[in-house]
Amino acid sequence: QDKDLFEQYYKKHLAKRLLLSKVINEDNEKDVIIKFREECGLQYTRKMEGMFQDMWTSASVTADFHRHIADSDELVHGVELNVQVLNAFHWPTHHVLLPCNLPIAPLAAFSAFKRFYLTLHSCRTLMLLPQLGSAEVELYFVGPPCGGVEGEGWQTDFTACGEMRSYTLQVSTYQMCILLLFNNRSQWNYQELQAETNISDKDLVRSLQVLIVGKPTQRVLIKRPDSRKIDQGDYFLVNTAFSSKTNRVKLQSNLVKYETDSERQETMNRITENRNHETDAAIIRILKARRVMNHESLMYELVTMLTPRFVPTREYIKIRIEVLIERGYIARNSEDRRIYEYLAEEFVTHKNVTQYQQ
């Protein structure tokens, strides 16, 4: 019944699948959207179709940017940047800009893309969303010295003493910012990492936990003291005994796989706000056409109009009617309180005249 509620959650999950490249069959996704359109109308699927369009456009823009870099003197420090330009109107969330200090090389690459993109679209604004990005980082590990004490997680099956090994780690943007700091120093404490990256406490802890968990040889970083809980005074250093049977290592995603209480509340607040706008617009549309209408007739037409999106309760409709009365769009008949009259045009005209006289 509550198609708008289903729409919100479906769009959120579709957005994650698209951004994390987890769409297994694009044709199946399109078939589902076509069925939604047939059932609920074009307005219901417009943003979903827009998300797919953004992904296709981003692939084209990325290819053009790579050609531009090859033919120009733009300094990108060897970073191969792949972009996803998202239209804020199409995507259900992720409009909040979270703080993050990017390393010099990725920041230079993004700045080069920003200049390139705004040259083509001068009236647009680009906002970097680091919480949604990912990166591939080439890491080099040096095994424990020969003849020394075996390091934590030492296994001769995978690692030879003094050996240098390279791996390509697939990480989040936050994890990339953390790992690149270890090019400057071999050890960092939590407070220093936070000061350098400017990542929020919640996201920094979540990103670090992925880097320190697992078997001894699978941990990218070692934490002191050794525990899963991360505190302000903890220290982190590179695990020189890190090893993997494959050259490319995809770390566990640090994205929460379930909806937190705050996210659930945010979703419900957004749905309530949208329902308020839709209900108010429907009431005004009906009364503007009828000019005068009794309560039961308004209720019937309103429920009929809104049911394709959600089924409003009588109590909810009464609340929205009172709001519109307070705002001066409609009024009760002076002789029969169960009859409503449309006043919006008179109200607006009167307000404009008053402002002009002042």
Compute CA 159 distance to the chain's CA centroid, rounded to the nearest angstrom: 39
User: For residue 173, what is the domain's CATH number?
Assistant: 3.30.230.130
151 is a domain residue: no
309/253 same-domain check: no
pLDDT digits (tens, 9 = 90+) for 11-41: 888 888 888 778 878 888 888 888 888 887 7
pLDDT of residue 41: 78
Its domain, for residue 351, covers: 262-355
* Contact criterion met (CB below 8 Å) for 286 and 295: no
pLDDT (tens digit per residue) in 198-234: 999 989 999 999 999 888 888 999 999 988 889 988 9
For the whole prediction, is pTM greater than 0.75?
no
Within 10 Å of residue 246's Cβ, how many Cβ atoms? 8
Residue 341, judged by CB atoms within 10 A of its CB (0-12, 13-18, 19+), counts as middle
Residues 330 and 286 both lie in one domain: yes
Which CATH number is 330's domain given?
1.10.10.10
Q: Would 226 be classed as within a structural domain? A: yes
Q: What is the pLDDT of residue 116?
A: 94
Shared domain check, 182 and 119? no
Residue 258 confidence (pLDDT): 54
Would 305 be classed as within a structural domain? yes
CA nearest neighbour of 96 among 203, 18, 209: 203
Give yes or no: residues 81 and 1 share one domain. yes
Asked if the structure places residue 66 within a domain, the reply is yes
**Domains of the chain: total:** 3
The verdict on residue 326 lying in a domain is: yes
* pLDDT score recorded for residue 343: 86
Residues of the chain with pLDDT under 50: 149-159, 255-256, 346-358
